[in-house]
Structures are given as structure tokens and as C-alpha cells.
Structure 1
């Protein structure tokens, strides 16, 4: 008579994923955002895992959580494993739907840089379905279900250098002959890039204090449209207003321009095959 002892249960995958995310990101709240669950769910998963192991993975305090020696020792293996799992899922999706390409990018880039290029992409690749997801921070492409990431940064293929300079509607241009004239005009301010005015003015008007005054917007694309409507002067990202400059709905009266250290870059977590739709889209965007 054969003996078949019960197999010990594996550790819960969701609990391991919660531990890895919290350990890598430095907290349960950040892990919850990445995993799309509540902080309470992450806390419960980690506590259940610790109870199952009979050992603490985090030290709790009023200031937050810190990895224990055990947690720090095992984290690299789980990060490598979940990265590999994420890339395997990318491969599975690609093989199952080889003609689908999903791009993640900033809302302003999606509206002002990427959207005008989509008709040409569809015409050149009618068999490829291109989806766009707008988000405020770059996703972890080793884990998230996106093929390409299009964000300002220092990783990936440069598709456009980024320059700062003031732009306005043609009707306002004759009132903007030198940087100091900005003190007499409404300056449109975008919340996401509120520091752009100070960055530009520090180089264009060195030693001269300047505080922009004017309407505030939470959507950069809306600020661009309002600038074109004559509402004031906008500190523009050159790559994002190129279409308006070409059409003449916006002009750049001042010569002072500041190059940003981070260019607009296209990145993928996996190698791009020459004939694969993801590689074709990446090359087309890089050449545009």
C-alpha cells in the first residue's frame, strides 16, 4: 500500500506579490497604488504571509515600515521572479494578439504629440490596433501590460529634445519684445509643470526676480488651447506646441530658450523585433 502524504501548501501568490511591491517601493500605500488594491489589502496579505512563515518581514513603527533582515535578504529573488513573470505575460499577450500595440504616455503628450501622428501610423499599418493610455507617471513596463512607454526621461530612444520658451497668440506678440515684458502679461501656469517658469526665467533673466501671475490649469493641453485663444503667455514645451507653431496659432516672440535635461523618449522592457508591430510602431515614432 503506497503512502501519499498531503502536499504542503504553497505560499499565496497574492501575498508574495504584496510583500515584494511593498518592500521594493518602501511602503504599503505605494504598493497598493501599483497593485490596484487598497493599503488595507496589502497589509492583510503581508500579515497573513508573516503568520504563515512565523517570521516578520517588516518592522512597523509610527514612521512607517522597514524591511527586516529576512525581508531584505529574500527581496531580490522575488523582484527578479516577478519581473520575469511580467515579461512572460508580455510575451504571451504579444503571441496571442500580435497585431495589438499598447502605448502608455503623459496626457499632454498623448493629446499634443502622439495624437497628430496616429493617422499616419494607421495609414501605414492598417492591420495594427494601437491603443493609448494616458497616465501621470511612467509604468513599470516589466509588470504593467503596456508595450511602449513615451515619457520625458533618460531611458530609451530619443524621439524629441525638449526646449522651454514662452509662446502666445499672434495678437499678443507685439507686447512681448523682451523677457521683462512678461511682468505685464497674464502667464498661464500648468500645475504639472509649474516650475517651468522659474527654470526658464532663471536663465533668461538672471538675477531678476520673476513671479508669473495668471490662470492655473491642471491640463497642459487646455493651457495650450487657452494660449492660442489669446488668454496669456504659456511656458511651452517645444515638442508639444510644434503643431501650433507650424499653423501660426501660436508664436514664440522671444529668442531665449532653455533645453531640458530629459528628452522625450520611447522605451520598451523587451527587445523590439524588426518585423513585429511593436518594433514597427517604435521605429515610426522615432523617425517622426
Structure 2
């Protein structure tokens, strides 16, 4: 079988394995949906959110939806793959796979394909619940969904490569969760997912701007929030060109790091 054929055959295997892991499903698939429900319920009594006097107002749930979509992308790729691959290294799965015809490229394709499938299902479920249960109005313009598509695709691929690269950091499979989750959680707090980005200190905004989640969240705000809200962004616009450049740069960085750091067997094993 060719490298691509082997990779394609791995996608189904990886996806089935993902949904058979309750902790992975909860912490990466359902977590953004649960957090959207908590934020919508807890803060709805404070009234609608607006960009300023005389501007369009939206519900609290509608304001937090873009950040939760972006967080879902990060969790599906970075957290899911970093913990999963580190676990496979720890239990000897990768060592056994290294003795088969499966190449690292085919392995990567299987993992990235799984992230695509689960990411699409997760985003679809999140938007379905947002629209039907929480009454959040979704975009009707084709251009908004076109923006959603390219931000989502770039974000998923970038997050997948970074997840593969980050899997080299934990010393063992048992320590993977303790190493990876704090990193991902901190990024969510400083990148405009749980806190309003424009209210954060400038130094914190600058740090967040180094990492891809801030740009994914900004791209998703351009999709789901009214135009008035772009006045709250750094520079006063959605700046989708910068979003694309930042994600492409991190995609390349993730690709290079994942290829340089990936090993079937740890060097110190």
C-alpha cells in the first residue's frame, strides 16, 4: 500500500479509538460545549454585550461562541494529539508500529485525518446546540461561512502538527495530561476564549499574539460577531490577512517541529 493509502486506512482506526476513550471525548470534544453552556447560563443575567453606545447588542452566549469554536479546534488538535501520542509512546504502541511498514507520514496522516473528522463533528454539534438550545443567531452570509472554512482548516492542520510536536515534551504517558493541559488552559485564558481579549493588559495581549489560538479566536469573531465588534480588536479591525499569515507561519513551524521531534521510540528510553 502507498503512504497515502496507509494514512487513509489509519483515519478510521484513529477516529473509532478516539470515541472509545471517554476522557478524550469529554476533555476535547464536549468541553467547549459545556463551557458555552456554563458561560451562557451564568452571565446571561448581566444583559447583552455591545461594542459601545449605539452599536449592535448580542447575547452573552453569542459573544463567547467564537472563542469556544476556536478552543475546540485547539483541543481537538493540540491537546488531543499531544496526550494521545505521548500515551502511545509510553505504552509501547509506537515502538510496535515502528516495526511495521507504517511510515511516520502515514501515521501523521491518520492522526490529522482523525482531528479533521472529530473537529468537524465537534464544531457542527457546538453550532447546532448554540442555534437551537441557546437561541444564538448564526451567520447567513456565504462570505462569513467561507471565512469560517479557511480559518477552521488552517487552524485544524496547525493544531494537529503542534499537537504532534508537543507530544515529545512529556517524559511519560502518565505525565502527559499534567504537562499539556496547563499549557492549553493558559492559552485559552489569555487568547480571548474565556476573558474578553480587549480588556486584558497590553503585555498579556502581546504574549497571546505570539501563539495561534489568539488568531483563531480573532478569525472566528470575524465570522460570528457583528461588524461593530471589530472596533474592540487590536488595530480596530478583524485583520483577516494577519490571521491567515499567523496561522500559516505556525503551520510551517508545527510541521517542521513535528518531523524533527517525532520518534517511534524515545531517545532516552
Q: Identify the TM-score tier after normalising by the shorter chain.
A: under 0.3
Higher relative contact order (CA 8 A, sep 6+): 2
Q: Which has the higher strand share?
A: 1
TM, length-normalised to structure 1: 0.22
Q: Which has the higher helix share?
A: 2
Larger radius of gyration: 1
TM, length-normalised to structure 2: 0.23
